[in-house]
Chain A
């Protein structure tokens, strides 16, 4: 495990950032079990590089499970079994070192979860944890700028992150995940605990990051999916129902279930 870090130790964050390009994810025949309970059934999917893909579907259909498989956070749950193949730029992630994978595939959670440290320390946490050399001040500035927080927070970088508003905390979490130069960002219902204004700012920063990062967002909000995403995945009961461009899915979906879910008829 230590050997996998050694190329990183020589590298600086700028060289990683220079060589970095958004990664595409390809899923083949993914089955996920919690104990004897099958959550995901034979998923075949492609998340295109540099695009925003929204995963929609009713509660309990396996959206979050699918998302957590992509950076192997699902392993943290006892009794979770993953079968199948997930590829990140032609590398099988199930055979990768999880720490290295999570550096490349960042994640933003449903509830804002800043660390109990200062804002600056929050952003530098990942860089320090994986021991990459970098210019700390520059990293803090560029990450906060990408998450549209720099103007609000530049005078109080030493404040405790818990003192921020919930919306700012969530954007700080995005900035934190950007600090380690990921290729993919997973967003698990990031706006579910935010007010409309914060949601708008969050969506704006997602739109800004389009092209630079591959983004996969789980959402219950159809409007958000429509505004933000390029592609939409509709899951139902652990099965992939429909996948396509956002306009196609929202204007004329091929399947009746998708139409019903989007228009809010059933479920």
Chain B
């Protein structure tokens, strides 16, 4: 069939227009991204210097117009991106809002004087950043397909913000703490005490008080590991048993009750548990066998309140009360994720329920259990109030039967401890970021190990 000149013209024209359109969209999106970039820059400068907000108003207008153009260019591809239009609308409203504001106004409370440039800079960044993302995204892929992934930049922004937050924290801790971190710091315990020294002068012994100061955090690091270990020892068997009991043996009513109570216990704040703990644990008589073990609060001869100095086991029992629900819940989730067919298959070859539990169900839910345990360990390593009030400053070294200390307590003491005399704050105050870094290394190391174990186990047991 011979194509008529009209058809030929139509084909060429439509091809041409598609090409032209795509080029036009590229130009438009490039322009928009430039304007959005400048807007973000100016917004950041305004936030930094609090003074150049008058220059911002034209950028607000420019951004509104370019976002509107971006919206209509998207419509050429028959894909209506309402989020761009909403962004443009927000931009226009903010323009009106910012230009109608007085330079200072009294904010939420009596002292809260809010500067106009701060608000306008913040608004500029918040609006221009997604706009920048949108326009760069469409410029990179100025094809109809690009518009299929709608709202992508709006979801990207929070993700980037979360990443940036994490990175900032890590960079801050590392840059402040890495300088002091060395092996001798980790291998010597902190000491601040007086020692009687015997020296010989002219054939006579002379006794003198010598101050011993040792810079180090060995006991604190070991104490953190000990706390995590004790918590694991206590909470892992109990938590797993609770999960298995709810799944396998409890009736409907009982499992509802257990589920509710584990969730409730999980959501109870540590300080509420602690109040209970403090009222239960009281200072024993000084001759008691349990003097160091159940050493709760009490009053000394002068009548001043003494904070509890129980053994580390007591502290980890109270942390376990928070960790057990976590492990029980994750165990239950793991057990529930096992397909019913595999469970029935195991029974159908004559295996007992106990054998199935040990060889099929628990190995299957091991990754979940490890995740729960990891969260519990993180909880234990960061538990400050319990260490602070139940177990103490670690004056007897590291032992599960006496009061022991942890890194969390170290950081707290460095920041808010007693500042007179040779206290930890005065001697080791500059090491607080190192302790924080150490804690970060321990937690991140645990996370990484758990992730690796979990991945390998998932491969092995779930055949992924």
Chain A residues close to B by CB (< 8 Å): 1, 71, 73, 76, 99-100, 102-103, 106-107, 109, 111, 113-116, 125-126, 129-130, 160-163, 173, 176-177, 179-180
Contact = CB atoms under 8 A, between A and B. Distances in A.
Contacts of A162: 462-463
A102 B341 contact: no
Given A130-B350, A162-B463, A180-B350, A113 B355 contact: no
B344 A126 contact: no
B351 A99 contact: yes
Interface in B362-403: 363-364
B349 A100 contact: no
Given A113-B341, A113-B342, A115-B342, A180 B347 contact: no
Contact of A113 (B344, B356, B359, B462): B344
A179 B348 CA distance: 12
Given A111-B341, A116-B364, A163-B463, A125 B348 contact: no
Contacts of B349: 102-103, 106, 125-126, 129-130, 176-177, 179-180
Contacts of A129: 346, 349-352, 355-356, 359
B194 interface: no
9 A-B pairs with least C-beta separation: A162-B463, A103-B350, A126-B349, A129-B351, A113-B341, A107-B348, A113-B345, A160-B463, A116-B461
A109 B355 CA distance: 20
B44 interface: no
Interface residues of B, number: 22
A116 B344 CA distance: 14
A214 to B, nearest CB: 16
Nearest to B339: A113
A109 B352 CA distance: 18
A76 B346 CA distance: 13
A115 B351 CA distance: 13
Given A115-B360, A161-B463, A162-B462, A76 B344 contact: yes
Contacts of A99: 350-352
B462 to A, nearest CB: 6
A109 B346 CA distance: 11
Given A116-B462, A116-B463, A160-B463, A125 B344 contact: no
A173 B360 CA distance: 16
Nearest to A1: B352
A1 B352 CA distance: 10
Contacts of A71: 348
B344 A173 contact: no
Contacts of A73: 344, 347-348
26 contacts: A71-B348, A73-B344, A73-B348, A99-B350, A99-B352, A102-B347, A103-B350, A106-B348, A107-B344, A107-B348, A109-B345, A111-B341, A115-B346, A116-B342, A116-B463, A125-B359, A126-B351, A129-B346, A129-B350, A129-B351, A129-B355, A130-B349, A130-B351, A160-B460, A160-B463, A162-B463
Contacts of B348: 71, 73, 102, 106-107, 109, 177
Contacts of B363: 116
A73 B341 CA distance: 11
A71 B350 CA distance: 10
Contacts of B359: 125, 129
Contacts of B460: 116, 160
A121 to B, nearest CB: 9
A76 B345 contact: no
B356 to A, nearest CB: 8
Given A107-B344, A116-B460, A130-B349, 10 more contacts: A99-B351, A100-B350, A103-B349, A106-B349, A115-B342, A115-B360, A125-B346, A126-B350, A129-B355, A161-B463
A112 to B, nearest CB: 8
Interface in B17-64: none
A102 B463 contact: no
Contacts of A180: 349-350
Nearest to A121: B359
Contacts of B342: 113-116
A1 B356 CA distance: 16
Nearest to B355: A129
A114 B461 CA distance: 11
Nearest to A71: B348
B361 to A, nearest CB: 11
A263 B347 CA distance: 38
A108 to B, nearest CB: 8
Nearest to A186: B348
Nearest to B464: A162
A154 to B, nearest CB: 20
A44 to B, nearest CB: 25
Nearest to B342: A113
Nearest to A126: B349
Nearest to A98: B347
A106 B351 CA distance: 11
Contacts of B461: 116
Nearest to B363: A116
A109 B463 contact: no
A126 B460 CA distance: 20
A173 to B, nearest CB: 7
Nearest to B350: A103
A200 to B, nearest CB: 24
Interface string B447-464: 000000000000011110
Residue of B342, B346, B348, B355 most packed against chain A (CB within 10 A): B348
Interface string B310-352: 0000000000000000000000000000010110111111111
